[in-house]
């Protein structure tokens, strides 16, 4: 359900259960099976973190205002939709207030559309002007594109002077904790961290239901790899395989159309490096080498005997400043000192000597490369629903009614079992309630449908919310305790004792046994066709 603000959704009970189940499957598949270190970081990271990562300055889309309508449009989407619309109306079709689209124009349009994600503001401005792109709603001209930062901004604490942003991704919180995670992993490399949580992007114009929203559930892995591009590619390949296994597990097989649900990015060492530089606390791995290596580096030697008398009480500050210089600064200063143009508090080469020295080292420090598989859970959920949806047509001969089915796998289906008492007569209900409670205590969600509709109709209307299994309580149950178990997709029915049927629900829910395997050990139901 979409709320009063566009791009912000409420999930109802089945959607919530589906989202929770996908998240749980993700956690089991990655965090548990891969032994990944999971973090739960604040959604309001410190402002300097997002400044350092580049999000405050650069995490923006280009937007155009239609000054007449007062509407804001995302510039690349505007160009895209207008060009696509012109193309779809044919090469020689007219379009309002513009010349006819000639062969050469069409070819340029296709080229532009192929590169639409890569244009910056000035390029989009040029395109909009030259191709006379206007707001499709009213055909008005739009103002030139301006950048719009996608982060929600607020202030923290009572002073109203401290800015804070809702995080646009979970990754930064993971990077900040790199040193603690490395320590928790006893210094061993490689390893990975993960986070599942909300992220926020103040989209200019949310659209396409759950596909472009302003608040979404992200599941991100940051895999810290040693700095070698060959290993990175191996890691990427490994994760692509694991991602595919996960998507198969939750029932996502192929895709209609194209939407990015999972991105596997090579973030190199960018984030760890910029945070190291800002904080002065290097996010690096210290590796003990089996064979010592010789390291060439710049070294500063201050002539303390001369510096002390000359600078007196300032001498200590000078010493501290020199010690804080990094390799790049030392190299620059070395040149300045040689050229006698130093402005470094009147330090001259007799007071400060900077030279290249070679030392033997038993360790090496490096910033690991980061491979990032990032999952948009809401997009996965939406794509899954789109994919598992099908229509079972009416079939009078086999007494199938026309019904919409969501073939959600047992692992993620919101309700696992529908319990169907043959009728609302009092003898069936206590058995149904006892069965329901027993399944719940095993963590298996279920509903009882005790309405007066036929069993077939009650099953059919639970095929739409995707309930995978049904259990019928009937007169045979009263006689010998046996129950009928019905499979949503095949509509096949099996018969067994209460314990057998519960085991036949529990095992597939835990991924231990399939319906086919269960069909081999339980009896086909004799009452199957009467529904």
Binding site for a second copy (CB under 8 A): 1, 3-6, 8-13, 15-17, 19-20, 24, 27-28, 32-33, 35, 37-46, 48-49, 63, 72, 148, 152-159, 162, 164, 166, 173, 176-177, 180-181, 184, 198, 200, 202, 204, 214-215, 440-443, 445, 447, 510
Does 516 sit behind a cis peptide bond, omega within 30 degrees of 0 on the bond before it? no
- Which CB, 86 or 168, lies closer to a second copy? 168
Closest to 372 measured CA to CA, from 211, 216, 243: 243
Residue closer to a second copy (CB basis): 283 or 322: 283
Output 166 or 322, the one with its CB closest to a second copy.
166
Nearest approach in angstroms of CB 228 to a second copy is: 25
Shortest Å, Cβ 9 to a second copy: 6
SS in 3 state form for 68-127? CCCEEEEHHHHHHHHHHHHHHCCCCCCECCECCCCHHHHHHHHHHHHCHHHCCHHHHHHH
Specify the residue, 3 or 280, whose C-beta has the smaller distance to a second copy: 3
Backbone conformation region of residue 406, classed left if phi is above 0, alpha if psi is from -120 to 50, else beta: beta
Instruction: Report how far residue 531's alpha carbon sits from residue 518's, in angstroms, rounded to the nearest whole number.
Output: 21
Work out how close the CB of 512 gets to a second copy at its nearest, in angstroms, rounded to a whole number: 9
Cβ contact 443:505 at 8 Å:
no
- Mapping DSSP to helix (H, G, I), strand (E, B) and coil, where does residue 308 land? helix
Beta bridge partners of residue 405, listed in sequence order: 390
- Cα separation values, 403 from 420, 449, 466, Å: 18, 18, 12
Q: Which residue, 342 or 450, is less far from a second copy as judged by CB?
A: 450
How many whole angstroms separate alpha carbon 58 and alpha carbon 120? Answer: 12
Phi first, then psi, for residue 370 (nearest 5°) are -120, 125
Closest contact distance (angstroms) between CB of 309 and a second copy is 41
Return d(Cα 303, Cα 425) in angstroms, integer: 100
Q: Which is nearer to a second copy, 15 or 308 (CB)?
A: 15
Q: How far is the CB of 325 from a second copy (least distance, A)?
A: 26
Q: How far apart are CA 96 and CA 102, in angstroms?
A: 15
CB of 320 to a second copy, least distance (A): 24
Per the CB < 8 A criterion, the answer to whether 62 and 122 are in contact is no
**Beta-carbon count within 10 A of 6 CB:** 13
Chain centroid to CA 335: 48
Nearer to a second copy, 352 or 466 (CB): 466
Instruction: Indicate the residue among 40 and 229 with the shorter CB distance to a second copy.
Output: 40
Could you tell me the smallest distance in angstroms from the CB atom of residue 326 to a second copy?
23
Question: Whole-number minimum distance, CB 168 to a second copy, in Å?
Answer: 13
Neighbours of 68 (CB within 10 A): 12
Residue 52: CB atoms within 10 A of its CB come to: 20
Nearer to a second copy, 92 or 154 (CB): 154
CB 131 to a second copy: min, Å: 23
């Amino acid at each position: 359900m979409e709320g009063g603000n566009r791009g912000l959704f409420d999930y109802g009970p089945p959607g919530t259960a589906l989202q929770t189940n996908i998240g749980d499957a993700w956690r089991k598949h990655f965090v548990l099976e891969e032994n990944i270190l999971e973090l739960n970081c604040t959604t309001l990271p410190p402002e300097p973190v997002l400044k350092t990562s580049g999000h405050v300055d650069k995490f923006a889309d280009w937007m155009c205002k239609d000054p007449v309508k007062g509407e804001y449009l995302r510039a690349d989407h505007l160009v895209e939709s207008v060009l696509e619309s012109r193309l779809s109306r044919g090469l020689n079709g007219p379009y309002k207030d513009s010349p006819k689209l000639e062969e050469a124009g069409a070819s340029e349009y296709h080229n532009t559309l192929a590169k639409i994600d890569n244009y910056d503001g000035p390029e989009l401005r040029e395109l909009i002007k030259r191709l006379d792109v206007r707001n499709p709603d009213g055909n008005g001209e739009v103002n030139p594109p301006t950048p719009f930062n996608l982060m929600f901004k607020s202030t923290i604490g009572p002073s109203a002077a401290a800015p804070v942003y809702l995080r646009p991704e979970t990754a930064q919180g993971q990077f900040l904790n790199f040193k603690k995670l490395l320590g928790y992993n006893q210094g061993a490399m490689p390893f990975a961290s993960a986070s599942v949580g909300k992220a926020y992007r103040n989209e200019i114009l949310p659209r396409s239901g759950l596909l472009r929203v302003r608040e979404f559930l992200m599941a991100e892995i940051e895999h810290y790899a040693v700095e070698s591009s060959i290993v990175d590619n191996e890691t990427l390949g490994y994760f692509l395989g694991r991602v595919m296994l996960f998507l198969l597990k939750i029932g996502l097989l192929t895709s209609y159309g194209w939407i990015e649900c999972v991105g596997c990015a090579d973030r190199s060492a960018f984030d760890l490096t910029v945070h190291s530089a800002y904080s002065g606390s290097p996010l690096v791995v210290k590796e003990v080498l089996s064979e010592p290596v010789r390291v060439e580096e710049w070294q500063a030697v201050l002539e303390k005997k001369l510096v002390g008398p000359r600078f007196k009480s300032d001498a200590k500050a000078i010493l501290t400043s020199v010690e804080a210089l990094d390799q790049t600064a030392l190299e620059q200063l070395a040149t300045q000192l040689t050229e006698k143009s130093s402005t470094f508090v009147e330090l001259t080469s007799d007071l400060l000597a900077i030279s290249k020295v070679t030392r033997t080292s038993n360790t090496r420090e490096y910033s690991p490369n980061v491979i990032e598989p990032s999952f948009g859970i809401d997009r996965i959920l939406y794509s899954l629903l789109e994919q598992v949806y099908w229509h079972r047509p009416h079939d009078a001969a086999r007494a199938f009614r026309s019904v919409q089915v969501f073939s959600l796998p047992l692992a993620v289906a919101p309700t696992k079992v529908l319990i169907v008492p043959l009728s609302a007569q009092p003898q069936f209900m206590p058995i149904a309630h006892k069965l329901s409670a027993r399944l719940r205590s095993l963590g298996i969600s279920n509903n009882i449908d005790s309405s007066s509709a036929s069993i077939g109709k009650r099953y059919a209307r639970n095929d739409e919310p995707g309930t995978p299994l049904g259990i019928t309580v009937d007169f045979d149950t009263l006689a010998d305790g046996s129950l009928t178990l019905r499979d949503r997709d095949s509509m096949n029915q099996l018969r067994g004792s209460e314990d057998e049927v519960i085991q036949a629900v529990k095992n597939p829910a835990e991924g231990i046994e399939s319906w086919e395997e269960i069909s081999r050990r339980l009896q086909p139901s004799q009452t199957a066709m009467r529904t």
